[in-house]
């Protein structure tokens, strides 16, 4: 059982909820983003629902051995969010969950609350605190990393989606012996508006890019050099685009759309994959729609990405690979300052169960 008490947490104070919090909780829980990632919330969410949470759900949580706190403004006392600890499971592990009101997002309130309640749980004997966040809920995942939680994997189909269906859930955990220091992603997110040289713009892939991505990935001359050499099903493309921010944040892959800077039109994709933090290395790959070829857009995209990687991150090596027959891709890499290396025999999967050679390319910081 956790004791009912107030926890100071810098820019926020954690205290058990009171009925006077109902209006603020109702206003926050009516927010579309809050509802998007908390599928159990009633829709529409009313003040009566907030009172029911305070007098029913929260009280039951305390009685069952968990803890429910309001994130309150230290000066005004206004509720700015909720954070709670579920009762310990059969191994003593404790799950934490939280949401923050839209009017205080981006101010560090949730991170401060999570850091404080986790330390408090450890002080009261919890051997482990973990949280789960939907794959697309990158805001919550940033909070977890900022509070020193380590990314531990992705659970397939582990959470419900509003309106039906299941979502993959990212798992983050922290132990008493962990430092609790913020965990910085290997690659920072792009600046607002992406990267641009005035001709091309690079932006993070999103679910809205899936149809255009699928179109490019299905072009015969693109499929020919894909690994493996086949067009992906659209469901795979949609999942890939929707999960791009998650994979970027946790250091799996950084995938971007190549856009015509003048019109914003989707022209192709470019990515950093095979991220290797100890060696500060990543692999560059790209593809372009035939309607945008012949204008040097991919060369500009590779140069733009390399300049960003070498000036804004700790990256020191960019590598790439091409099929020996893909002369256009080789010309792009040469113009972008990559040096040709050795040819690896029968390295890439080809059509019909065959294997093709791979030409290595390298650019150093």
Question: How much is the average pLDDT of 165-171?
Answer: 95
Residue 117: inside a domain: yes
What is the per-residue pLDDT across 258-278, written as a single tens digit (0 to 9) for each? 999 999 999 999 999 999 999
What is the per-residue pLDDT across 33-59, written as a single tens digit (0 to 9) for each? 999 999 889 999 999 999 999 999 999
Is there a single domain that holds both residue 115 and residue 218?
A: no
pTM for this model (two decimals): 0.94
Cβ atoms of residues 98 and 114 within 8 Å: yes
Tokens of 219: 């072009």
Domain boundary residue among 139, 174, 209? 174
Is there a single domain that holds both residue 239 and residue 306?
A: yes
Of the candidates 85, 89, 97, 99, which has an alpha carbon nearest to the alpha carbon of residue 25? 99
Is there a single domain that holds both residue 280 and residue 346?
A: yes
Residue 183: inside a domain: no
Is there a single domain that holds both residue 92 and residue 205?
A: no
Judge whether residue 24 has pLDDT over 80. Answer: yes
Residue 2: inside a domain: no
Residue 71: inside a domain: yes
Residue 48: inside a domain: yes
Domain span at residue 117 reads 7-174
φ, ψ of residue 276 to 5 degrees: the values are -130, 85
Tokens of 156: 């397939």
* Domain count of the fold of the chain: 2
Is there a single domain that holds both residue 167 and residue 204?
A: no
Residue 182: inside a domain: no
DSSP string, 203-257: EE--GGGHHHHHHHHTSHHHHTTSSSSSPPPHHHHHHHHHTHHHHHHTTS-EEEE
Distance CA 298, CA 281 (A): 21
Residue 237: inside a domain: yes
């Amino acid at each position: 059982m956790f004791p009912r008490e107030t926890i100071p947490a810098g820019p926020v104070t954690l205290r058990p909820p009171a009925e006077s919090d109902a209006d603020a909780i109702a206003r926050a829980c009516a927010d579309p983003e809050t509802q998007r990632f908390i599928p159990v919330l009633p829709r529409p969410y009313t003040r009566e629902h907030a009172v029911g949470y305070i007098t029913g759900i929260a009280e039951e949580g305390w009685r069952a051995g968990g803890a429910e706190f309001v994130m309150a403004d230290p000066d005004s006392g206004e509720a700015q969010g909720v954070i709670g600890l579920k009762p310990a499971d059969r191994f003593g592990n404790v799950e934490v969950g939280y949401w923050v009101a839209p009017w205080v997002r981006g101010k560090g309130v949730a991170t401060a609350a999570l850091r404080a309640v986790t330390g408090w749980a450890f002080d009261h004997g919890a051997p482990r605190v973990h949280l789960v966040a939907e794959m697309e809920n990158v805001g919550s995942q940033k909070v977890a990393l900022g509070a020193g939680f380590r990314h531990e994997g992705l659970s397939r189909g582990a959470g419900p989606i509003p309106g039906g269906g299941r979502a993959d859930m990212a798992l983050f955990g922290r132990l008493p012996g962990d430092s609790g220091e913020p965990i910085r992603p290997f690659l920072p997110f792009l600046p607002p508006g992406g990267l641009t040289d005035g001709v091309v713009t690079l932006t993070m892939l999103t679910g809205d890019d899936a149809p255009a991505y699928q179109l490019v990935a299905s072009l015969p001359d693109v499929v020919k050099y894909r690994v493996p050499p086949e067009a992906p099903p659209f469901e795979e493309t949609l999942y890939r685009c929707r999960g791009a921010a998650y994979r970027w944040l946790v250091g799996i892959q950084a995938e971007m759309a190549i856009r015509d800077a003048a019109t914003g039109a989707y022209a192709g994709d470019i990515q950093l994959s095979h991220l290797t933090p100890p060696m500060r290395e990543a692999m560059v790959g790209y593809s372009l729609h035939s309607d945008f070829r012949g204008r040097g857009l991919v060369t500009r995209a590779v140069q733009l990405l390399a300049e960003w990687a070498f000036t804004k991150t700790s990256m020191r090596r960019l590598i790439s690979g091409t099929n020996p027959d893909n002369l256009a891709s080789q010309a792009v890499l040469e113009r972008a300052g990559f040096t040709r290396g050795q040819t690896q025999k029968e390295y890439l999967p080809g059509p019909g169960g065959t294997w093709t050679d791979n030409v290595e390319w390298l650019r150093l910081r």
